Structure 1
Amino acid sequence: MKVLVTGGSGFIASWIRKDLLARGHQVLIFDHQDRRQPLADGEEFFLGDVRDATAVTEAAAHCDGIIHLAAVLGTQETISNPRPSAETNILGSLNVFEAGTQYNLPVVYAGVGNHFMRLQGTGCYTITKSAAEDLARMYNAYRDGGRITIVRPVNAYGPGQSVAAPYGTSKVRKIAPSFACRALVGTDIEVYGDGTQISDCVYVEDVARVFATALQYNAATGRPTEKPVEVGPLTSVTVNDIARAVAGYASEVTGQPPVGVKHLPMRPGEVPNAIVTSDTSTLQQIGMTAADFVPLDEGLRRTVDYYATHWLPGYLEAA
């Protein structure tokens, strides 16, 4: 299969591309930014924006399936400026669904693990991503050629995730790089709220396997899964648990005592005492189980080692 991956230059997409290539598929990377990444054998690049229906349709015409990841991310960022997320996450997804339906292609759409929080006053990111899920259900129910499988990962983490200020240039702060970078430089880890909230994390390599498997299931059966496929761990932990684990692994790397945990007020769009978990039984629809996923302790250790090796030397040199 030749697979169109929208948002193909992003973090999760980079792991999905590796997985697809390992399975013998070809990949067409669709992204609005040409980041001059070296392409692997079997990869091509298409410069385009999912808000451009013509570009999306043209790219889809040359592919056998679509994995749709392109989105405007962020919680606080999309509250203060909701229009870009609405245009990309809703209208952009509509363009992808329309193109996939036109060519009767299997489509896998990246939903969000906290989709239920759209009813609790969360950010525009969750609202818009969940709205696109509703559109996917409409296409599947009423449009000939509608074959859209929804995959809902919780917080994906792992090597290669971008780093936000003050340690990097990313505009969106993610839990794993934020915790790891602070711990490695000897600064207390910042946790929003009291840290008792549960926000499950899943290793990005496992997320990639689920997306690729879901696409193959759709292609082989000619239909989407009956229910969204939720991607997360079997066992949940609190944000405080994650922070303490990262501090411990960073201490092993640096040889310094573990850093502490500093609690900050919750940010707009965050729900106190939230519980963001997955119904991992939905993985059975595509023949997978979370029991095979990388355990959290091993995934966090790999992630801390990655930032210690690939990020820390350059940061210290520039400091």
Structure 2
Amino acid sequence: MNSLVTVTGAEGFIGSHLVETLVKSGKRVRAMVLYNSFNSWGWLDQLSPDVLAQVEVVLGDVRDPLSVRECMRDAEVVYHLAALIAIPYSYQAPHSYVQTNVVGTLNVLEAARELYTPRVVHTSTSEVYGTARQIPIGESHPLQAQSPYAASKIGADKLAESYHLSFGVPVVTLRPFNTYGPRQSARAVISSVMSQIAARAPVVKVGSLAPTRDFNYVTDTAAAFLAVGDAPADQVVGQTFNTGTGVEVSVGELVEAISRVMNSHARVEQEPKRLRPDASEVMRLISDSSRLRQATDWSPQYPLLRGLEQTSRWFLDQQNLSHYRTGMYAI
């Protein structure tokens, strides 16, 4: 019988793609979805019936220790993705980020300790590095909390590290750089720009065009999760791995590329409310993923242009676009 794996945050953008990847690789998947009275499974509702038929969906809350423990029971690998991720909203509701990202991670680690879970893959973020002090960014780069979101993820990362060193919990931390693709929230720059263009907005509104990022297609990110989940323990457990292409692109260059891919001539306009506070903006991120490449057989398969073309086709489908309120700023 194929091994059982649990995915927290399975209803989200990366989580739903990871569920697809795990099912296609032959895993039995238990997907933890945040409880809601609408019985919505988030983006899992968009998966094909043949994939979804292989998934056990469990409603719960990562902030609740009991529901976390029950969802993790008997799992060979737990992929912990549940988190609040929008940086602008972390300025408004920092307490909720600590509860979800820090306490939620504590609950996963405690459950893994009690259940002797063979492996936990904890999800970090390139935002923990802050503006790069050296390029490219390796895993030993200093951690800088330039937003409450980043601070909550640093706290979660350090808890994961401490549970491995203190209690021997077999944790692997995966640190994806900026992931994009179909089903991403419009709070992110690529999905925001594409959804506005697909809706034929005469003016495309953006934040700062100066920051640079390392953009990764979601299929590559999901493959990285699978790689560290399946790798021999002595190659990955107790370590942190960056996931990125090593290619640096400014937001301004990115918007121009999207406009070309989507054949858009809409005017681009900077909107003040989309700007981060000056000291909070992370100006430069570019990944050194050599450690992950050496430990596993992972390597990115999607150059930026190919990924943008795939993503734009998804957004140009009016049924997909209907999930977005394109006339509003998604915080």
TM-score under structure 1 normalisation?
0.86
**Local SS of the residue matching 1:9:** coil
Q: Quote the offset at 1:234 in angstroms.
A: 2.5
**1:153-232 pair list within 5 angstroms:** 153-163=176-186, 173-184=187-198, 185-193=200-208, 195-217=209-231, 220-221=232-233, 224-225=236-237, 227-232=239-244
Q: Secondary structure, in 3 states, of the residue corresponding to 2:75?
A: coil
- The aligned counterpart of 1:307 is 315
Q: Contact 1:60 / 1:99 at 8 angstroms: preserved in 2?
A: yes
Q: How does 1:59-78 map to 2 (within 5 A)?
A: 59-78=71-90
Q: Which amino acid aligns with 1:279?
A: D
Q: Quick one: which amino acid aligns to residue 191 of structure 1? A: V
**2:100 matched to which residue of 1?**
88
The 3 A distance-change label for structure 1 pair 213 and 121 is closer
Q: Residue by residue, what CA displacement relative to the aligned partner does 1:271-303 show, whole Å, maximum 9, x if unpaired?
A: 45611121211222432344x420000101111
Shift of 1:227: 3.4
Aligned equivalents of 1:315, 1:272: Cα separation in 2: 28
Q: Deviations over 1:249-285 (max 9, x none)?
A: 111xxxxx52232224422377456111212112224
Matched position secondary structure for 1:31: strand
Q: Please list, as runs of the form range in 1=range in 2, the aligned pairs for 1:269-280 lying within 5 A after superposition.
A: 271-272=280-281, 274-280=283-289
Task: Tell me the CA shift for residue 313 of structure 1.
Answer: 6.9
Q: Is the 8 A contact 1:189 1:243 kept in 2?
A: no
Aligned twin of 1:35: 40
- Kindly indicate whether the alpha-carbon contact (under 8 Å) linking 1:233 and 1:293 is maintained by their aligned counterparts in 2: no
1:287 paired to 2:287: no
| Distance of 1:272 and 1:309 partners within structure 2 | 33
Q: Can you list the C-alpha shifts for 1:214-256, whole angstroms capped at 9, x where unaligned?
A: 1111xx42674453111111311111111001111111xxxxx
Unaligned runs of 5+ in 1: 164-172, 252-256
- The separation in 2 between residues aligned to 1:14 and 1:293, in whole angstroms, is 19
- Per-residue CA deviations over 1:121-160 (Å, capped at 9, x if unaligned) read 522211101111001111111103x111111111211112
> In 2, distance between residues paired with 1:180 and 1:92?
32
Structure 2: gaps of 5 or more residues: 132-142
Deviation string 1:162-182 (CA, Å, 9 cap, x unpaired) is 33xxxxxxxxx1111101122
Identity of aligned residues (%): 26
Shift in alpha-carbon separation, 1:273–1:205, aligned structure 2, 3 A? closer
**CA pair 221-314 structure 1, distance change in 2 beyond 3 A:** closer
Paired amino acid for 1:153:
P
SS in structure 2 at match of 1:275:
coil
Change in CA separation of 1:272 and 1:89 when aligned onto 2, cut-off 3 Å: closer
Matched, 1:55 2:67: yes
Instruction: Determine if contact 1:76/1:269 at 8 Å carries over to the other structure.
Output: no
- Structure-2 separation of matches of 1:223 and 1:140: 15
Q: Distance in 2 between matches of 1:92 and 1:198?
A: 30
For the structure 1 residues 236 and 62, does the alpha-carbon distance in structure 2 shift closer, same or farther, using more than 3 Å as the test?
A: same
Two-structure CA RMSD over aligned residues (Å): 2.5
Q: Quote the Cα distance in structure 2 between the aligned partners of 1:7 and 1:63.
A: 16
2:4 counterpart residue number = 2
Distance 1:56 1:285, change over 3 A: farther
Q: Deviations over 1:6-47 (max 9, x none)?
A: 011111111111111111111001112341436623210111
Task: Judge conservation of contact 1:3–1:66 (CA < 8 Å) in 2.
Answer: yes
How far apart, in 1, do the equivalents of 2:323 and 2:163 lie? 47
Contact 2:246 2:286 in 1 (8 A): no
SS in 2 for 1:276: coil
The total of aligned residue pairs comes to 299
Residue 235 of structure 1, aligned match among 233, 237, 247: 247
**Paired residues for 1:101-120 under 5 Å:** 101-105=113-117, 106-117=119-130
Q: What is the aligned counterpart of 1:267 among 271, 276, 299?
A: 276
